[in-house]
Amino acid sequence: GDSVTQMEGPVTLSEEAFLTINCTYTATGYPSLFWYVQYPGEGLQLLLKATKADDKGSNKGFEATYRKETTSFHLEKGSVQVSDSAVYFCALSHPGNNRKLIWGLGTSLAVNP
């Protein structure tokens, strides 16, 4: 079945450092790919998405490119801020599978001033 694997945390960075959180997937066909974020004390919210190969999703300075050849959707940000401290989840869905989300385990990010 479909699955998502993302790098384990916790990840600790200093402010203005470069961030990469790796995400790879196993799926048939052409799933849509997502990054969700959960800030402390808040609910899950969509950060960015990509629906086809080579698409780049971007939001709040974060980017991720849908790479079909490597089955990856790595999350990157050039300069993190303390306010980016959160748990990040990679997920996929298929239109033919009711678009239910298949999730990675989540990566906790702590950014220190």
Chain residues that interact with another protein, rule: CB under 8 A: 4, 32, 36, 42-46, 49, 89, 91, 93, 95, 98-106
Residue 100, CB half-sphere, CA atoms under 13 Å: how many? 5
The token pair that represents 34 in the structure block: 């997502």
3-state SS, residue 106: coil
CB of 87 to another protein, least distance (A): 10
CB of 17 to another protein, least distance (A): 26
* Residue 16 or 52 having the CB closest to another protein: 52
**Of the candidates 91, 7, 84, which has an alpha carbon nearest to the alpha carbon of residue 48?**
91
CB of 101 to another protein, least distance (A): 7
* Residue 34 or 80 having the CB closest to another protein: 34
CB of 66 to another protein, least distance (A): 16
* Residue 37 or 80 having the CB closest to another protein: 37
Phi/psi at 83 (5° precision): -70, -10
Radius of gyration over every alpha carbon of the chain, rounded to an integer in angstroms: 14
Contact 92, 27 (CB under 8 A): yes
* Residue 31 or 74 having the CB closest to another protein: 31
